[in-house]
């Protein structure tokens, strides 16, 4: 029991170390999982549920994946992109169209619990799907077209949405309480109140500041260099290369979403070029602004 408590205490520091610029929501999200894992949640509903809203590319989905990985391992997340359920047959696709079809929920209902059900882009789901989500939240179970009952009472539910993005970006210089109030007002105007009212925690993610963008870039870059070092490459990074990656990787409307891929692509392309030209496996990455790429200067 003591080891378990120690591990649970490490959740919030772990999330802070891997998700930058969102400390207020990190603490609240960690609390959802801690209450559930300590057996404090009601037994007739899911262990925990929250809605994460705000600008894209700020870490909403990443937070859920990180928490699930830390607490339960890699295979406990059941992720559903609700942008694929915008048609009127959304509920049939989720629950099954006939007694031979268990639907998406049935097909994902496998493995040990607790599981973390991640419903991305909630606002894009067809309105009829909201009735289903209300049932999933309370009493915490649904019946598939096959007649099988799926219980969520031992699981966690996480909904993400970009609702309030415009408000969060426009009010980036306002205090956090004002931004949260404006974003949640937008959520309340868009989503059905009986759905929002059944989600106990509503987390508002902030627009990433320039300083946080730099932190995230440095974190992803360090991870990539460590991965390559383990593969036999000894690389250093110049200031010019870091600045280049920040400019290339961040988008004013997409946040940090593409940053990791941008860093990996540019760093790996520079390594490939040097390997083909001289076979070197060490050097310093510098920015080649003329050709919009990184260049590896061999030591």
pLDDT range class, residue 280, cuts 50, 70, 90: confident
What would be the CATH architecture of the domain defined by 2-204?
3-Layer(aba) Sandwich (3.40)
Q: What is the mean pLDDT of residues 267-288?
A: 89
Question: C-alpha angle 127/165/133, rounded to 5°?
Answer: 25
What is the model's pLDDT at position 253?
61
88-91, Cβ contacts within 8 angstroms, sequence gap of 24 or more: 88/126, 88/128, 90/125, 90/126, 90/128, 90/129, 91/126, 91/128, 91/129, 91/131, 91/132
pTM score: 0.86
Say whether pLDDT at 87 is over 90: yes
Q: What gap in Å lies between CA 258 and CA 261, rounded to an integer?
A: 6
Question: What percentage of the chain has pLDDT greater than the value 90?
Answer: 64
What number is the average pLDDT over the span 210-230? 89
Pick the more confident residue, 282 or 203.
203
pLDDT given at position 259: 82
How many other C-beta atoms are found inside a 10 Å radius of the C-beta of residue 136?
24
Specify whether the CB–CB gap between 205 and 20 falls below 8 A: no
Phi/psi of residue 47, nearest 5 degrees: -60, -35
More confident position, 212 or 32:
32
Looking at residue 171, its pLDDT comes to 76
Of the pLDDT bands very low, low, confident and very high (cuts 50, 70, 90), residue 56 is confident
Closest CA to 220 of 78, 108, 59: 59
Strand pairing partners for 51?
159, 202
Tens-place pLDDT, residues 234-270: 999 998 998 898 888 877 666 677 788 899 999 999 9
> Distance between CA atoms of 296 and 299, rounded to whole angstroms?
9
Neighbours of 200 (CB within 10 A): 15
Please determine, for residue 129, whether its predicted confidence score (pLDDT) is greater than 80: yes
Q: How far is CA 200 from CA 47, 68, 157, in A?
A: 11, 19, 11
Tell me the backbone φ, ψ of residue 31, rounded to 5 degrees. Answer: -60, -35
Q: Are 246 and 214 in contact (CB under 8 A)?
A: yes
SS (H, E, C) the chain: CHHHHHHHHCHHHHHHHHCCCCHHHHHHHHHHHHHHHCCCCCCCCCCEEEEEECCCCCCHHHHHHHHHHHHHCCCCEEEEEHHHCCCCCHHHHHHCCCCCCCHHHHHHCCCCCCCEEEEECHHHCCHHHHHHHHHHHCCCEEECCCCCEEECCCCEEEEEECCCHHHHHHCCCCCHHHHHHHHHHHHHHHCCHHHHCCCCEEEECCCCCHHHHHHHHHHHHHHHHHHHHHCCCEEEECHHHHHHHHHHHCECCCECCCHHHHHHHHHHHHHHHHHHHHCCCEEEEEEEHHHCEEEEEEC
pLDDT at residue 120, rounded to an integer: 96
Which of 77-91, 110-124, 174-188 is the least confident region?
A: 174-188
pLDDT over 70 percentage in the chain: 98
| Inter-residue contact 46 to 152 (CB < 8 Å) | yes
The model's pLDDT over 195-217, given as tens digits with 9 standing for 90+, comes to 999 999 999 998 888 888 888 88
Q: Can you give the pLDDT at residue 252?
A: 62
Report pLDDT for 2.
76
Question: What mean pLDDT comes out for the span 174-188?
Answer: 86
Q: Does residue 146 have a pLDDT over 90? A: yes
Structural domain spans, the chain: 2-204, 210-298
Q: What is the per-residue pLDDT across 40-51, written as a single tens digit (0 to 9) for each?
A: 988 889 999 999
Task: At 20, list the tokens.
Answer: 């930058």
Report the pLDDT value the prediction gives residue 266, as an integer from 0 to 100: 92
What's the mean pLDDT when you consider all of the chain?
A: 91
Residue 272 has pLDDT above 90, yes or no: yes
Token digits of residue 96: 């099954």
CATH fold label, 210-298 = Helicase, Ruva Protein; domain 3 (1.10.8)
Report the DSSP beta bridge partners of residue 50: 158, 201
């Amino acid at each position: 029991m003591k080891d378990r408590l120690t591990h649970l205490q490490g959740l919030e520091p772990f999330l802070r170390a891997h998700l930058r610029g969102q400390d207020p929501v990190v603490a609240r999200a960690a609390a959802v999982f801690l209450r559930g894992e300590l057996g404090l949640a009601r037994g007739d509903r899911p262990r925990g549920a929250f809605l994460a809203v705000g600008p894209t590319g700020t870490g909403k989905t990443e937070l859920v994946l990180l928490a699930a990985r830390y607490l339960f391992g890699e295979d406990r997340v059941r992720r559903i992109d609700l942008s694929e359920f915008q048609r009127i047959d959304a509920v049939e696709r989720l629950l099954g169209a006939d007694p031979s079809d268990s639907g998406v929920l049935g097909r994902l209902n496998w493995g040990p619990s607790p599981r973390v059900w991640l419903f991305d882009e909630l606002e894009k789901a067809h309105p009829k799907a909201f009735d289903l989500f209300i049932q999933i939240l309370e009493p915490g179970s649904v019946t598939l077209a096959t007649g099988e009952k799926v219980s969520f009472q031992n699981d966690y539910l996480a909904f993400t949405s970009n609702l309030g993005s415009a408000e969060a970006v426009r009010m980036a210089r306002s205090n956090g309480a004002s931004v949260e109030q404006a974003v949640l007002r937008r959520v309340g105007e868009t989503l059905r109140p009986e759905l929002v009212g059944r989600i106990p925690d509503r987390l508002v993610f902030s627009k990433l500041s320039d300083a946080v963008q730099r932190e995230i870039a440095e974190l992803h870059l360090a991870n990539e260099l460590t991965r390559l070092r383990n593969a036999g490459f000894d690389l250093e990074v110049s200031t010019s290369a870091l600045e280049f990656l920040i400019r290339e990787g961040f988008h004013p409307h997409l946040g940090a979403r593409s940053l990791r891929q941008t860093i990996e692509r540019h760093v790996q392309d520079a390594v490939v070029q040097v390997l083909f030209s001289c076979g070197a496996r060490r050097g310093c990455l510098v920015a080649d602004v003329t050709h919009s790429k990184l260049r590896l200067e061999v030591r």
